[in-house]
Amino acid sequence: MREKEIQYRFVEEWMPQLRNLLGDNLRLYSFEFPVRTKDGTKYADLVFELDENENPYKNKMVVLELKKDKVDSGVVEQVLRYSRFAGLQLYRKKKVSSIIAGPSFSQWEISMCREHGVFPLQYDLKGNMRLL
């Protein structure tokens, strides 16, 4: 299955599972969000918002970077970059959280996630998922 197809499954079929993990008020903010960095425009796979406040700038946001294969190395830096610039671009008052979703993770990447405050989310094609 292609990564794009998995992205659609996350938003069309697996939102209840994501809400169980991240909060009932989770909503999709953007699909393939264009993040403007100093090195050009990059695209964050999925951006979510926790719709909690009357003022949307106070809402928590989450950038989810999706991988269809084992997450081995280098993805932590990628998602942190997207989260940082998305937060600046969208004038968020709170730090934008980062999640990497993959079917499996190397021990190295799990340790990098923990070191940098990134959440590793393991999923399968049946919609089962858990934060590691």
DSSP string for 75-87: HHHHHHHHHHHHH
Domains of the chain: 3-131 (3.40.1350.10)
pLDDT in tens, 64-121: 999 999 999 899 999 999 999 999 999 988 899 999 999 999 999 999 999 999 999 9
Candidates 93, 88, 84; CA nearest to 60 is 93
Other beta carbons within 10 Å of 76: 24
pLDDT in tens, 34-47: 999 989 999 999 99
